[in-house]
Structure 1
Amino acid sequence: MGWTPLLPSPRVCAQAVAIVALIGWGALSDRIGRRPLAIAFGVSAILFFYPLSQLISDQPWTLFVAQAAGMSIWAMGAGMYPALISELFPTRIRATSVAIGTSISVAVFGGTAPYLLTWTGQIGASWVFWVWTSVLAALAIVGALVMKETRGTDMDSVGWPFRRGGATSASDQTPGAPIVLSRTTS
């Protein structure tokens, strides 16, 4: 049975699956923590993104299965990302830090991905794209392994990363003292 205009497209159905997965992965990250899901996301991306891309054929169901599974893996990372990234920065600089970090990473990695996939496909080396995504996923695993678990973090107790003259919080800043970049735990 093929796709007809009376049926929702395989992509729309896969996106509906991803929306449900986002909610589920986000709730699971609240229960078990961000770190385990970040590691599972990286491992899943390495193991499944390339095989899922090879599953797609001229049959609509293959597009649905590949996209639903791939977007569910993506949702694993995206479902916990807002909480994870918010818990890394103190309240006073949270919005700016999240905006800068997210914008740069999306521009550099997300913005170039379609071009890299198209170009490597045109030159007959699409495997390069999958190696690149696997390397990035491996870096995500390394980052998750070295990061501190943030689940249950009191948002007001997140350490102040910029210290002036030995201060450990924004209220302890000495005007005119040099800024020292460090991660504090207070």
Structure 2
Amino acid sequence: MGNAIELYDWNVYAIFAPFFAAQFFNLKHPVSALLATYAVFAVAFVMRPIGGFLFGWLADRHGRRMSMLLSVGLASAGSLLIGLAPTYSSVGLTASVVLVLARLIQGLAYGGEIASSHTYIAEVAPAPRRGLWSSIICISSMSALLVATLLGATLSTVLAKQQMVGWGWRVPFVVGGVLGIVALVLRRTLSETNAYEQARTERQTGSRPSMMRGIWQNRIAGLRVIGLVVGGTVFFYTWLVAAPAYAITVKHIPAPEALWSGVIATSVMIVVLPFAGALSDRIGRRPNFVFFTLAAAALSFPLNRLIQNKAWQLTLAMTIAGVTIALVVSILPAVLAELFPTHVRAAGIGVPYSLAVALCGGTAPLLQTWLATSGRGDLFIGYSVVLLLIGTVVVLAMPETKAKPLE
């Protein structure tokens, strides 16, 4: 529930960007306003590596539970701040500053959430079923994305466009802030993992390396994390998060239809996720990754060509992309946790993962929209394919970690 709330707070920004973009910037051209809004979306990703570092240290030294409590609290506060923020027409530049500040807070929080929640679920899962259990994280995340997209589709269907732009876009942000209280209450009931408790006992009776030394000693694993994540994060943000907004702004598909396309695609992906996780427990992590990277690379150009000006085209493209990426996102917590020892696992996951997402995922909607509107959309697709093929090379060079005991 906590992970769902955080991803909801994070991604509802991209989904509702077409409706509130002009509220925070003095830009009359809708595409220019959207690009400025996506620039803020990208800037927020700068805070994610910092969040991965700070919350990773907190989780490795003072417990996964404490780190998760603080991260969900910050994320919800950022969402509430956006929902209640004044507009540019009322306070001028201050509105833009408030929006940036709120997104920086959310970036810090979500960088910490990845570090702590991925570590927690991997450590409490039975080793033979760690792939299946890790899919819970993505099921909750995609369920949150589904709720956010469903809310957008419903509001844009019920409300007139003027109402959506005027106040309807505030609803999902306020809802996210309020639901954060529920997540805080639930997370207070969590107990620490046995792996963390054992590592803490060893640290008290002996010497363990500092976090920085631990990250350096596991630098190869950190580089593997970056290689595994860069292609997938661009593919994910392009097709599962920003695709409806891209279709509305660039392809001029009506907003309700584009958002309902997202609802359908996300629903199908959620059904596939546990099967993808269980498959990795049976055949290994590497086959899942290799098939995804090669299939996504092969499909990127055809899927982009498929989307013209019809909602069914967007629905089909997003659904195919969602089923493909389910093979990887379902098992990421398991794979990343299996690369690091317990005493540096949260920071080891959080820092390189957040760096990869900040560099490639956060800029994906901005690059895609800018290049597409300037007639160079194929450059973005080619860039995505190169990153996916880098992931293929990394996977083929790494050992199989299925059911590996967590040290």
Query: Which TM-score applies when normalising by structure 1?
Result: 0.77
Counterpart code for 1:140: G
- In the TM superposition, residue 57 of structure 1 has moved relative to its aligned partner by 3.1
- In the TM superposition, residue 60 of structure 1 has moved relative to its aligned partner by 2.3
Q: Which residue, out of 261, 264, 272, partners 1:21? A: 272
Counterpart code for 2:324: I
| Structure 2 residue aligned with 1:109 | 360
Counterpart code for 2:338: E
3-state DSSP of counterpart to 1:155: coil
Structure 1 vs Structure 2 CA RMSD: 1.9
- In the TM superposition, residue 42 of structure 1 has moved relative to its aligned partner by 0.7
| Structure 2 residue aligned with 1:53 | 304
Aligned partners of 2:378, 2:313: CA distance in 1, in Å? 20
Aligned partners of 2:372, 2:261: CA distance in 1, in Å? 23
Aligned partners of 1:26, 1:153: CA distance in 2, in Å? 15
| Structure 1 residue aligned with 2:332 | 81
- In the TM superposition, residue 101 of structure 1 has moved relative to its aligned partner by 1.6
1:59-70 aligned at under 5 Å gives the runs 59-70=310-321
Q: Which residue, out of 322, 339, 342, partners 1:91? A: 342
Does residue 1:35 correspond to 2:249, yes or no? no
Deviations 1:49-71 (A, max 9, x none): 22112212333222211111111
Aligned partners of 2:302, 2:282: CA distance in 1, in Å? 30
Aligned partners of 1:43, 1:116: CA distance in 2, in Å? 22
Aligned partners of 1:10, 1:124: CA distance in 2, in Å? 24
Aligned partners of 2:390, 2:293: CA distance in 1, in Å? 8
| Structure 1 residue aligned with 2:186 | none
Counterpart code for 2:363: T
Percent identical pairs in the alignment equals 37
Aligned partners of 1:126, 1:52: CA distance in 2, in Å? 12
Q: Higher helix fraction: Structure 1 or Structure 2?
A: 2
> Which blocks of at least 5 consecutive residues in structure 2 are unaligned?
1-153, 159-256
Aligned partners of 2:405, 2:353: CA distance in 1, in Å? 22
Q: What is the count of residue pairs matched by the alignment?
A: 153
- In the TM superposition, residue 90 of structure 1 has moved relative to its aligned partner by 0.4
- In the TM superposition, residue 152 of structure 1 has moved relative to its aligned partner by 1.6
Counterpart code for 1:36: P
- In the TM superposition, residue 12 of structure 1 has moved relative to its aligned partner by 0.5
Counterpart code for 2:299: F
- In the TM superposition, residue 124 of structure 1 has moved relative to its aligned partner by 1.4
- In the TM superposition, residue 97 of structure 1 has moved relative to its aligned partner by 0.7
Aligned partners of 2:361, 2:264: CA distance in 1, in Å? 23
Aligned partners of 1:61, 1:132: CA distance in 2, in Å? 26
Aligned partners of 1:121, 1:55: CA distance in 2, in Å? 14
Deviations 1:29-81 (A, max 9, x none): 11111111111111011111221122123332222111111111121220121
- In the TM superposition, residue 25 of structure 1 has moved relative to its aligned partner by 1.2
Counterpart code for 1:61: W
- In the TM superposition, residue 136 of structure 1 has moved relative to its aligned partner by 0.3
| Runs ≥4 residues deviating over 3 A | 4-8
3-state DSSP of counterpart to 1:124: coil
Counterpart code for 2:346: A
Aligned partners of 1:25, 1:107: CA distance in 2, in Å? 26
Aligned partners of 1:125, 1:59: CA distance in 2, in Å? 21
Aligned partners of 2:381, 2:401: CA distance in 1, in Å? 30
